[in-house]
Structure 1
């Protein structure tokens, strides 16, 4: 087991190292391309400047040379360049936004920005010294952000991969738990049928019928449990039921089967409330929360169940105990399938409770608050 975990950790680190190598190579290669392009653009501006210098010189140039020099000047169609004399007058400008060129104030401001870029070439023309100020082309500026774009894409890819694999894993777990639940229901079904038959026979015997009645209640409870397990993984049908009555019945039943050291209180702000639910599955959720609360209180404390109808959208069911609370680091994990803090627990209760409330009833279940001093409060929200 230890070797397996070590191998798993090594594989994970190998994946991280590969990602960092890919990212490093991408950054290096893109920076190299940007650097080479920058040198190339600088050469093109130098050609532009030298061509202007030669054309304005006193030397007599043949037509072919003149045409070549004009071609070099026109060849720059992407690098913003401004030709300025010693007095600051603008002689020529290329590849600058037309709106800026038409506005002298904006153009002067733009030239000042070019000067700050520290990219200039001195040119000697007839009128004296001139300066060609320029900055990077749009393409070069865009390439600077290329590594960031690649990094974001890599993160998005790995994020999607992680989400996809996690979804598959969670789905596999769901099918596994659903299969186990159905198989459990199937296995319990046979001895349960026999027990139901024996209870009917006991009713005709000359024994204390109150005992038989309690046995029958437990057998019926087993029947409900089998019904619940058989519904896991199947499409659950909701029907209009009085949630106050169902909750009260569940609370009364569990109250008699947990420690007498626990004071159980049930409150509601209405006597009846009809809502679409699946009674066996909903009852299971309340039962699980009550049993977990009893364990958390170590069979001594106060357990309050309260149903509120005051919210205009949701019906609120609160299950609060005075137990030891849930550690902050475990709050996000308590609903995970297989997670449990009990020595003999399976980690199914809260996982199935969340599935029943969230998926089957389209509601919400969460830890509203929890602390070592005040205990834990679970809240269930069901749409009215």
Structure 2
């Protein structure tokens, strides 16, 4: 969105100027087409007059060089001359089709739609009728506005997608900058918490309390590391997909409502995958939290790990209200959310982490009123 009044005024001015220029081009093209058509009509009337001179002359009489020249000069406009006895004569048309009566009749009907036929009469006696079509130049000129509009449309589409991509790139930089700044801001109080926790250990308090504080501090360190990696290419290392998935799953299971039933199942015990541990754990947590939100805090969440050829599939299933099939793709777009409070960034970040950083795939495998299954596919190390 452009909040600069000058920039908005410039955009409106450019839009109006473009519309005026295109309108002038189309108007000028249409005027030229009409003028050219009138000149071609005049040329055909002259040709018809020359044809009348030819019909008036006897076999022995010389029709005149001018008449012959006029009749021979037309080499571009297709025409059919129908004499009063029904015989036809074609000009500037395929010679092999001149004897095809069905083809001639079709062309006559077409020529009638393109131009008004010219009647050749002498002293009230009808001698012939001239049917003629548009010349090749006139036909091309007729479709020129359409081609021009198509070019303008394509040019406008290119500009639109360019600005849309540019805007998306600016938004990505903004989110990356905000994420890094958030990580930087969290780091300062986090250092203080570490110091306070060490001080508490020297006091006579239960070790279980400081241990839980250490867990939350470790959690904050993980969040800080996640945010610091947004906008930069993360380093991928070899990890066991089962261990890392279970770790993210266990963290949420212990901190979620007792009304949520968690289950974990893996068809394999150990399987190495190239991943960035903090970002992968973030992905699992996002999908599980989305499932919990969809169930409104009550239901079942299950995670299943299934090998699939060169890939391993991680299935996250919830018993929430489901997603309509038309939204299977759009839910991964930034800003799309069904929550009253939310920015709609969770699944868009998940998609980027899986597809751009880990070169994997993520999709809605299935969804109904009984629940939703989200599938992540990552390549197995060979």
Fold match by TM threshold 0.5: yes
In 2: Cα distance, 1:81 partner to 1:35 partner: 20
Q: Judging changes above 3 Å, is the alpha-carbon distance between structure 1 residues 381 and 148 closer, same or farther for their aligned structure 2 residues?
A: farther
Residues 318 and 371 in structure 2, CA contact (< 8 A), matched pair in contact too: yes
Pairing 1:42-191 to 2, within 5 Å after superposition: 42-58=41-57, 66-91=64-89, 93-96=90-93, 100-102=94-96, 105-106=99-100, 108-116=101-109, 117-118=111-112, 119-123=116-120, 129-191=127-189
In 2: Cα distance, 1:381 partner to 1:12 partner: 44
**In the alignment, structure 1 residue 349 sits paired with structure 2 residue 346:** yes
Q: Secondary structure at the match of 1:318?
A: strand
In 2: Cα distance, 1:303 partner to 1:204 partner: 41
In 2: Cα distance, 1:264 partner to 1:235 partner: 33
Pairing 1:15-26 to 2, within 5 Å after superposition: none
Q: Deviations over 1:35-92 (max 9, x none)?
A: 3333222221221121232244349xx99x944333333332211123343344344x
CA root-mean-square deviation: 3.8
The partner residue of 1:270 within 268, 271, 277 is: 268
Please name the residue that 2:306 is paired with.
Answer: 308
Residues 297 and 322 in structure 1, CA contact (< 8 A), matched pair in contact too: yes
Please name the residue that 2:355 is paired with.
Answer: 358
Please name the residue that 2:36 is paired with.
Answer: 37
Q: Secondary structure at the match of 1:162?
A: helix
Pairing 1:204-215 to 2, within 5 Å after superposition: 207-215=205-213
Q: TM-score, normalised by structure 2?
A: 0.81
The partner residue of 1:376 within 357, 365, 372 is: 372
In 1: Cα distance, 2:56 partner to 2:70 partner: 16
Residues 354 and 362 in structure 2, CA contact (< 8 A), matched pair in contact too: yes
Q: Secondary structure at the match of 1:145?
A: helix
In 2: Cα distance, 1:22 partner to 1:259 partner: 65
Q: Which is worse superposed, 208-217 or 155-164?
A: 208-217
In 2: Cα distance, 1:22 partner to 1:330 partner: 41
Q: Which is worse superposed, 168-177 or 343-352?
A: 343-352
Residues 114 and 134 in structure 1, CA contact (< 8 A), matched pair in contact too: no
User: Where does structure 1 lack aligned partners over 5 or more consecutive residues?
Assistant: none
Please name the residue that 2:292 is paired with.
Answer: 294
Pairing 1:218-297 to 2, within 5 Å after superposition: 218-297=216-295
Equivalent residue pairs, number: 370
Residues 258 and 294 in structure 1, CA contact (< 8 A), matched pair in contact too: no
Instruction: After TM superposition, give the deviation of residue 19 of structure 1 in Å.
Output: 7.7
Instruction: After TM superposition, give the deviation of residue 180 of structure 1 in Å.
Output: 0.9
The partner residue of 1:320 within 317, 321, 324 is: 317
In 2: Cα distance, 1:339 partner to 1:104 partner: 65
Q: Deviations over 1:128-167 (max 9, x none)?
A: 9333332112222233333332332333233222222221
The partner residue of 2:215 within 214, 217, 220 is: 217
In 2: Cα distance, 1:130 partner to 1:345 partner: 81
Q: Judging changes above 3 Å, is the alpha-carbon distance between structure 1 residues 136 and 226 closer, same or farther for their aligned structure 2 residues?
A: same
In 2: Cα distance, 1:43 partner to 1:325 partner: 72
Q: TM-score, normalised by structure 1?
A: 0.80
Instruction: After TM superposition, give the deviation of residue 101 of structure 1 in Å.
Output: 0.4
Q: Judging changes above 3 Å, is the alpha-carbon distance between structure 1 residues 21 and 241 closer, same or farther for their aligned structure 2 residues?
A: same
In 2: Cα distance, 1:157 partner to 1:288 partner: 40
User: Where does structure 2 lack aligned partners over 5 or more consecutive residues?
Assistant: none
Residues 185 and 227 in structure 1, CA contact (< 8 A), matched pair in contact too: yes
Q: Judging changes above 3 Å, is the alpha-carbon distance between structure 1 residues 325 and 41 closer, same or farther for their aligned structure 2 residues?
A: same
In 2: Cα distance, 1:20 partner to 1:304 partner: 57
Residues 321 and 375 in structure 1, CA contact (< 8 A), matched pair in contact too: yes
In 1: Cα distance, 2:85 partner to 2:67 partner: 26
